Amino acid sequence: MLSRHLIKSNSIVGLLRSTIFRGYTTTVTQTQDNETASAASNWKNARPYSELPGPSKYKIIRGFLPGGAFYKKTFIEGITEMTQEYGDVYRFPAMFGKPEMVMDLNPNDYPIIFRNEGIWPDRRSLESLIYHRTVHGKDCFRGTGGLLTTAGEEWAKVRTAVNPVLMQPKNAKLYLNTLLEVNDEFLERIRHIRDPSTLEVPGDFHDDINRLTLEGVVGIALNTRLGMIHKNRDTPESKLLLKEIRNFFDLTEEIEVKPSIWKIIKTPKFHKLMATLDTLTALCNKYIDEALKQIELDNEGKFTSEVGKEKSVLEKLLRIDRKIAVVMALDMMMGGVDTTSSTLVGILFCIAKNPDKQQKLFEELKNILPNKDSRLTTENMQNLPYLRACIKEGMRYHPIIAGTMRKLPTDVVLSGYRIPAGTDISISSNLLLRNEKFVEEPNKYIPERWLRNDTEGKKYQLNNPFLFLPFGFGPRSCVGKRIVDLKLEVTLARLVRNFSIEFNYSTENAFVPKIVFIPAIPLKFRFEERKE
């Protein structure tokens, strides 16, 4: 049981008060004084919070019922329509136990929000996941919530422990060989499943991409191979794991995003979500158990791992805090699949639909990988600026989440309105990335806009640095960012170096916007073998 691994903990609380996020607590007194005076003046001249427009509770409930304005529409579509009616900033009413929220689609407000977030930024967590770990499964988790379900000093403790392991670029690159091994299998899978005549892969290729992502996550988190791509792909356990990961995201959207009365009455979907989380916890804990058995203690009590292999995230975190190590490994497996898979699909759409950009990327790759079997290394990967630009532009063109949230510790003025401290603010920046008011040529795929010294790309660069936040911002940015970057770089580089990629179908409405945007069309990519 997971609880067995959470009994002992090498706590580091005593070190926290002097070390937490020093980089975020550096202050310049004069600047702070000026900003304080300016903020006081802005507050005095701003309109009261009560005048901020927004829909009533009745309108929201009626809108999502049969015959309503939002019936059978996604929550994102509802937000878009409400923005047209109420403006870029409006109030979303308190409902079913959830507090009122400000929806903010004005990018001029974003610097104000992030400058005032404090050293321990707070945001609304997944309350159903908190319930699972603190009430439903409290005997299993024993008070350890991980990054997804904690706030304040408790969250800072976990984040401080995992940052050196996951957020340092040099540490992430240590897993390059693991990802190359997984990607070699993925390339062979493509060659095996593509149609010999059309060279297209089957429409359910999203399943293979999920398997690629999960295999990589487990390889990094546990130094373990599940065989999801080939060896064990058809086992009942593998299928159940992927199914429940998808159910987790689907049901979480129903419970957390859409109007739900689960806090008042435990609905059937809520019970399904609890059952899904139970299954995921049990399955992931099985793999964690097996990984822990492989980690042996030497006579001095130091952790050792197989010679020649980079230590897993689990093993590295065990040196710091056993509870954190186990829960972080669990969270990586549960939350790291659909997010990375959808991001990769969006990038592949862009590459396939823009053959001139794909050719330019191929030429860059060919310079450092003369042959198809040439190996990526930490050294030659430093010389791939266009690869990274293609990835960034793909994430802009097809964002996979709406944005992020903050609950500020101080009063602020946003779009001319007074926003009291403690108000939930939805920063829906990703919904603006295809808006011509904020992005030059937003509906064109232009990787050059991310190249600093590119003359052509300069006129397309984003003017607001807070508009493009695929991994969030500041201390609460995605802790897996470095790992995800590496996975995307390795996979795209290996695919484009080996194949000419096409997608000969429409990509209109290619994603359905759930809590994480999910591909909604068959992914019948065409992979033609490169001859050089």
**Is residue 414 included in any domain, yes or no?**
no
**What is d(CA 310, CA 314) in angstroms, rounded to the nearest whole number?**
11
Same domain, 180 and 121: no
Same domain, 261 and 232: yes
Q: How many domains does the chain have?
A: 2
Q: What is the identity of the amino acid at 291?
A: A
Query: How many residues comprise the chain?
Result: 532
**Is residue 266 included in any domain, yes or no?**
yes
Same domain, 110 and 171: no
**DSSP letters along 186-225, please?**
HHHHHHHHS-TTT-BPPTTHHHHHHHHHHHHHHHHHHS--
**Is residue 222 included in any domain, yes or no?**
yes
Owner of token pair 């299954």: 279
Same domain, 178 and 254: yes
Domain boundary among 91, 109, 140: 140
Residues 6+ apart with CB under 8 A from 455: none
* pLDDT of the residue at 258: 77
**Is residue 431 included in any domain, yes or no?**
no
Same domain, 68 and 187: no
For 521, the enclosing helix (H) or strand (E) is none
Owner of token pair 């470095």: 482
- Residue-range definition of the domain harbouring residue 189: 158-399+470-529
Q: Please provide residue 406's backbone torsions phi and psi, each rounded to the nearest 5 degrees.
A: -145, 150
**Is residue 186 included in any domain, yes or no?**
yes
Please give the span between the terminal C-alpha atoms of the chain, in angstroms, as a whole number. Answer: 51
**Is residue 411 included in any domain, yes or no?**
no
**Is residue 323 included in any domain, yes or no?**
yes
In this structure, are residues 251 and 272 in contact, taking their beta carbons and an 8 Å threshold?
yes
Same domain, 57 and 110: yes
Residues 6+ apart with CB under 8 A from 279: 240, 244
- Cα dihedral value 136, 219, 386, 466, nearest 10: 20
Same domain, 263 and 353: yes
Same domain, 121 and 267: no
- What's the gap between Cα 170 and its chain centre? 20
Q: Please provide residue 306's backbone torsions phi and psi, each rounded to the nearest 5 degrees.
A: -55, 135
Q: What is the DSSP letter of 253?
A: I
Closest by Cα among 524, 530, 529 to 503 = 524
Same domain, 221 and 274: yes
Across-strand partners of 98?
A: 95
Per-residue tokens: 357: 């950009």
**Is residue 444 included in any domain, yes or no?**
no
Across-strand partners of 103?
A: 90, 426
**What is d(CA 486, CA 489) in angstroms, rounded to the nearest whole number?**
5
Domain boundary among 111, 140, 169: 140
Same domain, 287 and 343: yes
Query: Which residue ranges of the chain lie beneath pLDDT 70?
Result: 1-41, 296-309
* pLDDT of the residue at 504: 97
In this structure, are residues 230 and 189 in contact, taking their beta carbons and an 8 Å threshold?
yes
Contacts of 30-36 spanning 24+ positions with Cβ under 8 A: 35/115
* 27-41 per-position pLDDT tens digit: 434 444 555 556 666
In this structure, are residues 447 and 357 in contact, taking their beta carbons and an 8 Å threshold?
yes
**What is d(CA 157, CA 21) in angstroms, rounded to the nearest whole number?**
10
Same domain, 130 and 174: no
Domain boundary among 80, 108, 140: 140
* CATH code for the domain in which residue 243 is found: 1.10.630.10
Burial category of 351 from C-beta neighbours within 10 Å (exposed 0-12, middle 13-18, buried 19 and up): buried
Q: Given the DSSP bridges, would you call strands 101-104 and 424-427 parallel, antiparallel or unpaired?
A: parallel
**What is d(CA 521, CA 234) in angstroms, rounded to the nearest whole number?**
23
Same domain, 219 and 248: yes
